[in-house]
Amino acid sequence: MGRIKEIAKGARSLIGSMGVTLKHLKDEPVTVEYPAERAPISPLQRNAIRLIEKEETPGSHNCIACLQCEKICPSNCISITGYRPEGLAMKRPETFDLNFALCSECGLCLDVCPTATLGYTKVYDKAGYTRADFFHDLLEEYRETEEQVVEHLREADRRKKAEREAKRKAEAEAKAKEAGDAQ
């Protein structure tokens, strides 16, 4: 008798489950067949950091190697070395390495960056088999154009300096004229 009750209970459970399945059979799926399909990513999703390309200088970033992101990182996953190119007022990064295995994706580096040159990637499936798979050189995509960018920045600095000098000279002449008119 006990065995029949167990079978009846199991049959009721099976029929109830099949009813739920049939009820939702025509609904849209809530999962994706990864990796053939990719789930949409929220714009607020945090992923590995990257350097954002400057609009005014294509092929370049705006990092000034101030080391603020390296200093604030609680995971110590950012390593930067910088240099000052001849003729430039600002430093440029020579290396910008990220150990993604340590990164907690807290976003403090983005918050502290004075040039807003850091952003998140859309990559959410960073997996690897070796330790080296998690070390990323963020300057890799910018290395080929760095010399042209530095030259462009030098030229921009020269123009700004000439404009400041011309403005200073014009102001001095205006003051001299004012002083001459007052006498």
- C-alpha 91/C-alpha 81 separation (Å) is 10
φ, ψ of residue 127 to 5 degrees: the values are -125, 155
Domain region containing 150:
49-161
Instruction: Tell me whether residue 25 is in a domain.
Output: no
Q: Residues 141, 40, 36, CA angle at the centre, nearest 5°? A: 85
Instruction: Tell me whether residue 112 is in a domain.
Output: yes
* Domain CATH code at residue 60: 3.30.70.3270
Task: Count up the domains in the chain and report the number.
Answer: 1
CB 81 within 8 A of CB 93: yes
Instruction: Tell me whether residue 86 is in a domain.
Output: yes
Assign 71 a pLDDT band (cuts: 50, 70, 90): very high
Instruction: Tell me whether residue 5 is in a domain.
Output: no
Confidence check: pLDDT of 126 > 90 = no
Query: pLDDT, tens digit, for every residue of 4-32?
Result: 999 999 999 999 999 998 988 888 888 88
Instruction: Tell me whether residue 139 is in a domain.
Output: yes
Assign 182 a pLDDT band (cuts: 50, 70, 90): low
- C-alpha 113/C-alpha 64 separation (Å) is 10
How would you class 96 by CB atoms within 10 Å of its CB: exposed for 0-12, middle for 13-18, buried for 19 or more? buried
Instruction: Tell me whether residue 18 is in a domain.
Output: no
CB 54 within 8 A of CB 142: no
Q: What pLDDT is stored for residue 99 in this prediction?
A: 93
Q: Which two tokens stand for residue 46?
A: 């945090």
Mean pLDDT of 170-179: 82
